[in-house]
Structure 1
C-alpha cells in the first residue's frame, strides 16, 4: 500500500526538509462524505467538483490534521501552528506564502493530482484593499488559509484513494520515514476498522420541492424600499459616468443548528457545480457550490479566467433548454453585460500577462448547470516573469461579475451603499499548491456559518436601464436556492436529531 520506499524517502530527505509519504488503495466501499466524517474534527476542508469537462470532477480532496494557519491580522499576515503559537508575521501575503513554503521546503516529487498538497482557504471581498488603497478594509480577515499534514484524494471512477502525508525530516531521515509510514498506516487503519458506521442520515427530503415561503424567519440587512433607493442611486452614478455597472447585494440571515457537513451534503445534491467546498478550519465555516472560476494558474505560468454573465433557468426538457439558450444569446442586454465583463477580464489579465498573450479563446458559449444555464467565455494569457502568481490572483480579485466596471469605482460605490462589509461573499476560495498551481473560484452560492446563524448573500448587476424592483427580485431569486438548502437541511437533520 505504501508507495514511497525507504530509499526514495532518503534521497529526497537529503535535499528537502519535508518529504511526502504516499499510499494508494482501493476505496470501493467509501465515499468522500464517509471519509470526512471518519476523521471528524481532524478534517479541515473538503473540495469537490461536478463539472464533466474538468479533470477536477474525478476527484474529491480532504485535508486532515491542520498544522499551520496563514491569516491576516491587523494588516499583517500571521503564521500560527496548531496550538495558536505565532511562528512568523509578514507585511505582504506573497512574502508570507514564499517564506512559509521555503521553510517547509517540500520535495517536488508529488503525486500527479490536480491538488497534491498546499494551502486551502479564502480571500475576503475587501482583500482588494491589499492592492488598492482606495478600498476600505472589511470586518473579516483579508486572507485565511490552512496547511494540512495529510491530504486524501478520492478518485471517483477508479474508486481509489491516494493518501499523501507531509513528513518533516528533521535530523534522522530513517526515523522520519518510519514516523511518516506509521501515520499513513494509521489513516488506513482508521478507514479499514471504523468502530461504528458513519452516522445515519435522512435523504428523503433532500430534493423535494417546498411550497412554503423559504424567506419566512429570514432577516435581511436592507429593506426592499432601501434597496430600491440604492439601485436608483447606482443608476445616478452610471448616468454621471462613474461606472457602467455596479453589482449591489443584500445579506440574508437565518437561524441554523444543522452541522456544516450535513448542510454541504444537501447543497451538493441540490446544486452540483464546478467548485464545491466545505471549509471549517477557522471561526466561521464556508459551505459553497460556485459555478464560476476566478483564475487558474498552471505550473508553466499560464493563466485562465472564465467570466460568466447572462442567466436563464433550465427548461423542462432538452427542447425547452434549446429555446431558452437561443433566447439568452439573442438578449441584447445580456450580451452587452457579458461583453463588458469579458473586456474587464482581459484587462485584469493584461495587467499581469506578457504582451500579446491574452486572448479570448472561447466566446459566448452556453453551459448548463443543474438549475440554470449561463453564457460563459474563456480568456487566457501567460504571466510576466516579474509577476508572482498570487499577485495575479489578487489582480483579478474580486471578479468583475460580482463587483462591476470599472472595478475600483464600482467597489467604492458598493462600500458607500451597502450596509455591511461583504467579507467572504464575492471573495475568492482557492488552493495554493506546493507545485506552483493555483485554482480559485468566486465565493458566490456560498453559505457562511457562524455560531447559530447561517448567512446568505446575493447581488444583482445594476446598469443604466435597470428596473429597481426587478433587481431586488433578482437578489432574492439567487438567494432562494441557498435558503432552500438550509431549509431542506433543517427538515432532514433537525428532525432526525429530535427523534433520537
Structure 2
C-alpha cells in the first residue's frame, strides 16, 4: 500500500529529516472540493484545473497542515516555522529556498507527480523590484512574497480518478521505526476520512442571477471614470514620447462581503472555469482566483516554457462558427501585433535564464479552445541554465507583459506613477515550487483578495497609441464584471442559506 517499506524508510531517515510516505487510492466518487471540505480546519490551499477543453487540466492539489513559510521582510527573505520563529534570513529568495531545504533536510525520493510537496504562494506585482530595483515601492505591512510549506499533500489525478496522499514525516525527534509508524498512521487516517461519507459540502442555494444593469451598485473603485481616462491620456503621451509601446493600466474595485472564502471560490470556479483555479489561505488574507494564463513552468528536468496569450474571441455555438471566429481572430492585425510583441517579451525573459541556443518558439500563434473563449497562444521553450534556480526563471518572467507592458521596466514605472494603490497580488504570480525543483505558475488575474470582510478585485486594459480612453475604462469594468458577478451570486446564496437556518 505504501510507497516505501520500513527498511527503505530507515535508509532515508539516516540521511534526511523529512521523508515522504505516500499511498494511492481510487477516488472516483470524490471531487477536490469534497476533499477540501473533509479537511477544512487543516486545509491551507487548493490548486485545481477545471476546464475540460484545456490541455493543461490534469492534476489538483490540496495542502494540509501548514508548517513553515518563506516571506519577505524589509528587503530580505525569512524562513519561519508555524509559531513565527525566524529560522533563516537571506538576501534573495533563491538563497532562502536553499536555506529552507537545508534546514528541512528533504529527501529527494518523493512520488513521481508534478507537485509531491514544497511551497505554494504568490509573488506580488511589486515583487518585480527584486529583479529590477528601480521599480521598488514601499510595501508597508503587505508581503511581496509569501510561500507556504504543508506537511501533507493530496494529489488528485483527474483522468485516472486516483488520489495520492503524501505525508512528509519528520525523522529528527524519534527513531526511524517510530517515525515510520507515525507517518503510515497519518496516511491511513487521511485515507480513512476520504473513504467515509462525512463532511459533505453544503449545497450552494440556487438564486436569481445578479442584474447586469445594477452589477456595480455598492462597488467602489480607486479611480473615477474621469481620472482613469486622464491616466490613459497620460500613458498615450508617454507612448508618443517613445517611452513605451504599451502600458497596462488597471483599476481596483472593492465591496463588502459576508460569504467565506471557500464559498466565493466554489461560485467562481462554476461561473468562470479556467486552467488555473486556486484558493489559498494566508494569515492576513485569502486569495481566490480563476486564471486562464500560465506565467512560466519549469519541469524537474529543467525544461521550461511560457505561453504568451493575446487575442480573444468568444466560443461559437457550432463547430462552423468556431472556425469562422478563429479565422477572424487570426486575421486581426491589431491582435497579431500585440501577440507578436508578447512573444518577443517571452523570448527575452526565457533567454535571460536559459542555456545559450536553447530558446525556441515551438508553437506560434495557434488557436486554443477553452470552455467559453478561444485565445491565440504561442509556446516559448528553453533549457534552464545550470547556474540558475527554477525560481530565478519565475522572477525573470514576472510580471508578465500582458499585465505590465513593453518595454517592461518603463511600463512598470508608469503604472506605479499613475495607479493610486499598490497592486499587491493582482497581476503578480501564483506559484508552486516543488521539492523536486519543478515550478508551475500562473498570472494572478481574475483574482479576488478577501481581507477583513472586504473583497478586492482588479482589472486592466492595455493602452496603445490609438486607444480610446472611454473604451479602455469600459474594458476594465467588463473584465471585472465576471468576478463581481461571482461575488454577488455567492452573497445571495449566503443570504438564502442564513434565512433557511
TM-score by length of 2: 0.96
* Gap change, CA 1:52 and 1:499, over 3 Å in 2: closer
CA distance in 2, matches of 1:379, 1:363: 8
Shift of 1:182: 1.7
Counterpart Cα distance in 1 of 2:35 and 2:355: 43
Q: Distance in 2 between matches of 1:497 and 1:158?
A: 38
CA contact 1:56–1:114 (8 Å) conserved in 2? no
Aligned twin of 1:126: 126
Please name the residue that 1:385 is paired with: 386
Partner of 2:152: 150
Cross-structure match for 1:400: 401
In structure 2, the residue matched to 1:466 is: 467
Distance of 2:54 and 2:297 partners within structure 1: 12
Q: Distance in 2 between matches of 1:146 and 1:456?
A: 23
Cα offset for 1:57?
2.0
Aligned to 2:374: 373
Greater CA drift, 47-56 or 406-415: 47-56
TM-score of the aligned structures, taking structure 1 as reference length: 0.96
| In 2: Cα distance, 1:116 partner to 1:51 partner | 22
Alignment correspondent of 1:175? 178
**In terms of mean alpha carbon deviation, does 259-268 or 427-436 score higher?**
259-268
1:161 to 160, 163, 169: 163
CA distance in 2, matches of 1:226, 1:315: 36
TM alignment of 1:332-351, pairs within 5 A: 332-351=333-352
- Distance in 2, matches of 1:232 and 1:182, equals 63
For residue 184 of structure 1, the aligned residue among 184, 187, 201 is 187
Cα distance in 2 for partners of 1:318, 1:210 equals 31
Is contact 2:353-2:385 (8 Å) kept? Answer: yes
Cα distance between partner residues in 2 of 1:199 and 1:437: 32
**Aligned residue pair count:** 498
2:498 alignment partner, SS class: helix
The 1-side partners of 2:334 and 2:76 are apart by: 43
Classify 1:360/1:205 alpha carbon distance in 2 versus 1 (closer, same or farther; 3 Å): farther
Q: Structure 1 residue 111: deviation in Å? A: 1.1
Residues 443-493 of structure 1: per-residue CA shift (max 9 Å, x gap): 011111111111110000001111111111111111111111111111222
Contact 1:48 1:61 in 2 (8 A): yes
Shift of 1:53: 7.3
Deviation at 1:36, TM superposition (A): 0.7
- The Cα of 1:203 is off from its aligned counterpart by 5.3
Report Cα offsets for 1:32-69 as digits up to 9, x if no partner.
Answer: 11111111121000011135577752321100000001
1:292 correspondence with 2:297: no
Take 1:128 and 1:221, find their aligned partners in 2: how far apart are those partners? 22
Gap runs ≥5 in structure 2 = none
Tell me the residue number matched to 1:220. Answer: 221
Matching residue of 2:73? 73
Give 1:440's aligned residue.
Answer: 441
Q: How does 1:93-492 map to 2 (within 5 A)?
A: 93-137=93-137, 138-139=139-140, 140-170=142-172, 171-193=174-196, 196-202=198-204, 204-205=206-207, 210-492=211-493
Structure 1 pair 203–324 and aligned structure 2 pair: CA distance change class (3 A) = farther
**1:201–1:493 Cα contact (<8 Å) kept:** no
8 Å Cα contact 2:268-2:290 kept in structure 1: yes
Change (3 A) 1:351 1:290: same
Q: Does 1:82 align with 2:82?
A: yes
Instruction: Extract unaligned runs of 5+ from structure 1.
Output: none
State how far apart, in whole Å, the 2-side matches of 1:414 and 1:60 are: 34
Instruction: Say which is worse superposed, 360-369 or 120-129, in terms of deviation.
Output: 360-369
CA distance in structure 2 between the aligned counterparts of 1:211 and 1:244, rounded to whole angstroms: 34
User: Which one is further off, 74-83 or 46-55?
Assistant: 46-55
- How much is the aligned-residue C-alpha RMSD, in angstroms? 1.7
- 3-state SS of the aligned residue for 2:96? helix
